[in-house]
Structure 1
C-alpha cells in the first residue's frame, strides 16, 4: 500500500522579516512518502481520493528544538495554508495533521482514524515523542472527538489534550464557524512561547487577517515530549471514505514569528466535479452536437477558402514584440524547398519532415556549424550566436537541431515533451541548453559507445562541475585559442540550467538572453539546483543532517515552488 519514498527538490529563500539572529540563503529537500506528491502546478498533495491511503511530507533534515538533550524547548512558530477537498459534502476521509516527530518513518501507521501517525500499539505510547495539531474531519468515539469538524492539540495520542470546532474569532469577539472539508484554502498558525510554556493554534480563511485571539491554547511545557532534534511535517489518511489533502504554502521559524504567506502566490486547489454538473454537461453535449457540427463545417470551409487565398496570416505574438519577428513566410519556405518536394527532405524529426533550403535557414545552419567547429572564433561572437538561436520560435529551434544533424531531434527533446508531444517555450529552452553544451563541448548529446559517466552530455558536464573541473569538458579545438574562461563557464552552467529535467526550474527565454548578455548574473545556488538532476534520476538521500539544520533561526519559503513560477 505504501509507495516508494521520493525526494522532491524545493527552493527556500529568506524574507525581509525582522528576526533574532542572522538569516541564511539555502536549498533543502523535502521527504515525501506514501501517496504524497508535488503536482505540476506546484500543489503539494499529501493524500489522494483513494480509500485506505496515507501520506507524509517532512522537512528532510531534523531541526534542533533544544540546546541540549535535557534542555528546554525553544520558542517556534509555523504557519501553513491547506485545503481538504471531498467528492461529497456529507462524507470525508479522516483528516490531516501538522506533526513534530523524532522520525520520518510512519510505514507502520494505520491509514485510518490514526491519520497516518499512530496505530493501535503506538497510540498513547509516551515513547512516541510526538506533538501534533490535528485537523479532524471524522468524529471517532475511540478518541473522544467533540465533532467531525474540529482542531485539536495531540501529545503522543489522538485523544486531544484540548480541541475546538473549526472556526475563528473576529475582532469584536464573534465566533465564525469554518468547514474544514469545504475545499477552500485556510491558514493555520502553530506558535509556542517557551517563556510562558504556551502553545497557541489559530485558524482563519486566507483572505482574513490573522485573528488576535487563538482558537486553541494549551499551557504545557513541551520539553519532556520533544527531543533535542525533531522532524517537522504533515501526515494525512483517508480511511474507508476519501478526500484529497493539500498543502499550498508553508513557513517555519525558530525563536521568532514565521513569515506570513502571500495568498496571491498560492496555486489553485482542484475540485471534484459534482454528479449534477456531469449530467448537465451530457445534456448540453447532446443538444449542441448537431448545431456544432454544422457550424464546424461552415467555419472549416471558410478557413479553407481564406488560407487558399492567403497561405499564412502573419501576426506578431507577444514574445516577438520584444525580440522582433523570427519566422519565415509560407511563400518563401515554399520557394526555398521547391514546393516541399520529397527530393529536398533531409530527414524526419520529432516535429515532422525537415527540408533543406536556400533561405536564412541555411544561414542559421552555417552559423551553428561555424560555432561548433571554428576554434578561432572569439567567445563574444560565440555568445552572440547562441543568443540569436535563443530568440528563435520553439518549432524552429527543435527543427533546427534535426536539420543540423540530419538525424532528427533525439537528445534535444525535454522529458515533458517526450511524454505529451506538446511543444512549449520551456521545451525550447531545454533544447537550447543542450545545444549550448553540445557546441561548447564539441560532441553530441548522447554517445552510446562512451563510458557510463560520459554517455549523457548533461550528466557528464554536471559531474565535472561537482569535481571542480568543469573546464575538462571544453572542446579541444577551443583549448589553447583566444577565449574567456569566464564566458565559457557561463555557457556551460547556463546550458545545465536550461536543460534541467524539471520544466519549472528552467529560466524563461528572456532570462536566458539576459544571462548571455551579462545583464543579470546566474543564481549563486546554481550548483545545488543542478544537483537535483541526480535525485530525479534515482539518487538516494544521504541521511546526514547538513550543517545548516542546526543553525537558528530556520526559515522555509512561503511557497513550495515559488522559484520559477
Structure 2
C-alpha cells in the first residue's frame, strides 16, 4: 500500500562504484567532483547531469531507476601476482532529497560497491535498482551498500522511516541506525531528517585491516530546492582519506518551488471541501424550510376581495422587529399590541373616531390586525396614571366622549353590517396627535346583519364594563356596548376606575363606580363625583350631562338603555335626558334613598 502511494517518488541508487575483479590495477584511486559538469561518470536509467553540474538520479516519473557509476573499475582483494592489497577506502558526498509531495517520502537511495555495472534484472522502488524479488539476499550478489532510507518497509524489517543501514547482498540491513548527527553546540546527538530538503553530507570509511565500516552524516550548506534526488559533490579515495569537498564550489540548486501535496492529502482536502459545501447547502435548505414555515400563511378564496388590505406575515415581522418586546405597546383582549413602521394600506371600516384598520395577516392559528399608530397612547394612562399637571382638561374629555359615541353609532348603524365591539373600555380608546379619542382593538368584535338576532357566543369582555345580561344570555348586543360606553363616560368624568378597592387590607371592599355615582345623585350632590384633579374647572352643565348619561347608559335593564343615536342627540343638545326619579334598591348612604334613573 505504501509503495503504491509513493510510486511517483522513485528515489533510487545514487552512486555505485563498479568493482572489477580483473582489469587494470592501480595502487591509489583518488577523485573529487565539486559538481559533475566534467565528471567521468557512466549514467543509465533516468539519471542525468544538469547544465549547472547537479547529478539528478531520479525525477517525478513513475517506476523508474537511475544509476551513476564511476567509469573505471576499482580492484579490491589480491593483486595479479598473488600479493594482498589493502581494501580500505574513504568517500564523501553531499545529497539533497525533497519529494514531490511534502507529506510522503520516496524510497531510499544507496552508495554501493558492485561487481557488475548496471545490475541486470534489478527493480526500482523498494529494490533500489540493486536487486529483485528472486536474488535479494543471495550471497552470490557480492554487493555492499549503504542505504539512506526514508520509507519504512516491513518486508525488509526496517527500524523506522528515517535511518541509515548497511546492506550486504540484500536489502535487509545487517546494521541500521536512526539518522542523527552529533551537535557540538548542544553536545548531544540530534535527529536529522533525510527528507528535509536540505543538503546533507555523508562520510563512509572502511578500514580493510580492521574490517570496520563507519558512516557519518550531518547537515551541510543551505536549504535545497524541492526536487527529488540531487548529488552536489562526490569525493573518493582508496587506501587513504577522501579529500574534503569544497562546499563553496558545489553547483547551486534550482530555484525553490512550492511543495506539492500528496494525492492522498489532495483527496482529503477535496473531500473536506465537499463535506463542508454539503453541510452549507444542507444548512441553507434547512434554514429556507424553517424560514418558509415561519412565515407560512393561510389564504382562502373569500380573501381575494380583501387583497389590498392583507399584509404578509413577513412584512409585519419586519415592521415590528420580530415582534420585539421593545415594540410591545400593551396587551388587549385579542392579544399583544405592537408598534410597527413603514406599513401603508386602507381598510373598509373607516371613521374619524375609529383607529384605522390598515390590514391583516393570517398565519396558522394566528390572525394579526394592523392599525394606524396613535401617538398619544391609550386614554386610561391619561386618566389614571398621570399627576394633576398632566391630567386631561375637561374640554378634551368631553370631546373624547362625543368622539367615542360617534364611533359606536357608526359601528351599530352606519355600516352595511352591525358591528358589536364587545370590549369598549378606557384602554381601548386611543388618542391621536390632537388628543381626539379613537376606538380601537376590534379583536373581540362580532358582525351580524341588520335586523337579525345576534348568535349566542362565549362571554367576553372586561369586569366593570360587562353588561349584567351578557353572562346570563351569552349574547352580545349593541345594548351591551351602550352599557360599556356608560361605564367609560363615568370613568372620564370621575377620574376613577369602574371597580376600585378601598380601605385597609383587612377591611378592603370593592366600590363599583356606577353605584357610587348613583348614590351621589340620590343625595343631590352628583357633582361631588367629578374628578378632583379638575378642581372644579369644568362646565357644570356638561359635567351633569356626562354623569347622568353614564348612569342612564349603565341601567341594569337593557331595554331602558338608549341607543347610540339617542346618546349623540343628548350630547349635541338636540334632545333632553329623561328625568330621573326615585325607585327602590340603591343605598344612598346615611339616609336610604331609592332612586330610579329615569321616569
TM-score range, shorter chain: 0.3 to 0.5
Greater RCO, 1 or 2 (C-alpha within 8 Å, sep 6+): 1
Q: Which structure has the greater CA radius of gyration?
A: 2
TM-score, normalised to structure 2, is: 0.35
TM-score, normalised to structure 1, is: 0.37
